[in-house]
Homo-oligomer: A and B are copies of this chain.
Amino acid sequence: MTQSISTKVKKAKQASFSLAAASEAKRNKALFLIAKAIACSRELILKENQKDISEAKAAKIPEALIRRLKLDEAKLAEMLSGIKDLIALEDPIGRILARTELDTGLILEKVSVPIGVIGVIFESRPDALVQISCLAIKSGNAVMLKGGSEARRSNAIFFSLIAEAAGQAGISNLALQLLETREDVKEMLTLHSYIDLIIPRGSNRFVAHIMQSTKIPVLGHASGICHAYIDKDADIGKAIAITLDAKCQYPAVCNAIETLLVHRDIAREFLPKAAEKLKEKGVELRGCKRTKEIIPSVKGAAEEDWGAEYNDLILSIKIVDSIGEAIEHINTNGSHHTDTIVTQDDQAKRQFLAEVDSSSVIANASTRFADGFRYGLGAEVGIATGKIHARGPCGLESLTIYKYRLAGDGHIVADYAGIGAKRFTHRKLA
């Protein structure tokens, strides 16, 4: 008998209250038992995964998707080591963010707590189910999980192992709920009284679709239109190295650059050298009119190029008259993800870092550094480009919020009002 989605969500919400109060030891024990269960069930997991793959091949699903779907011993080992690392991470819950004495014996604490119920929707990769479930348990959040239908069997076996292990550790397995169909997702996206945050994992198009389909806050980014700006006072060697790294080191990812902005005073010196190296790497260049004057062989850039995310070996190039024009171009055409300036001028550096409205702003380094592992966050939940809650590469902290705890000894507000009122001390204790 299938339960309705609203029944599942209500159960998850109910379970979220006790999970929020679960001790760190209990949550880490659940992670330990999950790793153990996966390690002991390797054969079964790979067998179920093989069935998914056979079916996907029979359905002529694209090869790239099948690669993401496929599990092997190496991937399983990586998952287990990921869980081990997660257990070792500092507890994100119960941190005292501030402590204030309001008056003698009346102590206010601001303390980190889980968000509640998180809805996670991901494409293809069954390892994402394990990773997200473990991040949720570590941070005390209930989760509604929906994976790609092509990974149905792999997801089901992982889910049953995780729910059972969580139960053994004393965490209600109602805190983890697996959704089955696209209709389930549609319904979930309407349940904003029960679900506090949606995390989509997949293509830009997929994320944009989810963002447009719900009023529940979404943690993520729909596009990564990143820029490198080569200032007039750039070191040419560094500028070329950073441009090549930011475009070519892994062009398919969101923090690779799509547009190169070049100050007019350095363009004649920098662009021919950079273009030569970029062409050696197989990069297609699309330049503005002034770029074409310097390198006649480049294609002309159309207006659409300034807002395009190629995720490929293509780079648009624009010559600008000033750092101000570069900043305005980025703020207007970019996706507020990650942008870098290359310059030896401290003033220009400061201006760029202050005025570019992106989640990561960089000076004299590659945009490719913008991710949770490289930033040392321990675990990455995703990269967000929104302007509230969490921004940029998001660690476990992005799955938490805070509450105020106030402890008194019979204190009432009437004593602090009117004639002869007591005064608050507002003494910071932490």
Nearest chain B residue, comparing its CB with the CB of A116: B387
Enumerate A354-406 residues with CB–CB distance to B below 8 Å: 354-355, 357-366, 368-370, 374-376, 386-389, 391-393, 401-406
A411–B100 touching, CB < 8 Å: no
Min distance, Cβ A300 to any Cβ of chain B, angstroms: 28
* A404-B393, A410-B238 known; A17-B365 Cβ under 8 A: no
On chain B, the residues within 8 Å of A387 by CB distance are 115-116, 196-197, 401
> Which bracket fits the contact residues of A?
35 or more
Are A363's CB and B406's CB within 8 A?
A: yes
Contact A360 B406 (CB under 8 A): yes
Interface residues of A in 325-340 (CB under 8 A from B): 327-328, 331
Instruction: Specify which of B374, B392, B416, B424 is in contact with A413 (CB 8 Å cutoff).
Output: B374
B-side contacts of A20, CB under 8 Å: 354-355, 357
Cα separation A349 to B109 with both chains bound (whole Å): 14
From B217, B405, B409, contact of A353 by CB (8 A): B405
Task: Give the docked Cα–Cα distance between A28 and B51 (Å).
Answer: 66
Q: Report if A252 contacts B (CB, 8 A).
A: no
Most buried by B among A102, A355, A366: A366
Q: Which residue of B lies closest to A196 (CB)?
A: B387
Minimum CB–CB distance from A59 to chain B (whole Å) comes to 35
Identify the A interface with B (CB < 8 A): 16-18, 20-21, 100, 102, 106, 108, 115-116, 196-197, 215, 217, 235, 237-238, 241-242, 244-246, 249-250, 327-328, 331, 349, 351, 353-355, 357-366, 368-370, 374-376, 386-389, 391-393, 401-414, 416-417, 424, 426
Which B residues touch A424, using CB under 8 A? 374, 376
Residues of B near A388 (CB, < 8 A) are 115, 196-197, 217, 388-389, 401
Quick check: B366 and A411 within 8 Å, CB to CB?
Answer: yes
Q: Which residue of chain B lies nearest to A375 when distances are taken between CB atoms in the complex? A: B108
Q: Are B100 and A407 in contact (CB under 8 A)?
A: no
Indicate whether A18 sits within 8 Å of B355 (C-beta atoms), given known contacts A196-B388, A408-B364. yes
| Listed residue (A102, A366, A388) with the most chain B CB atoms within 10 angstroms of its CB | A388
A100 in complex: contacting residue of B100, B360, B375, B391, CB < 8 Å:
B375
A412 to B360 CA separation, bound complex (whole angstroms): 15
Whether A366 contacts B21 by the Cβ 8 Å rule is no
- If A18-B355, A102-B369, A364-B410 touch, whether A249 touches B376 (CB-CB below 8 Å) is no
Contact A102 B374 (CB under 8 A): yes
Contact B245 A413 (CB under 8 A): yes
* Residues in B whose Cβ lies below 8 Å from that of A362: 405-408
B365 touches A404 (CB 8 A): no
Per a CB cutoff under 8 Å, which of B21, B404, B407 touches A355?
B21
Listed by A's residue number, 10 A-B pairs whose Cβ atoms lie within 8 Å are A20-B355, A21-B354, A100-B376, A102-B369, A102-B376, A108-B375, A245-B413, A362-B405, A365-B408, A392-B404
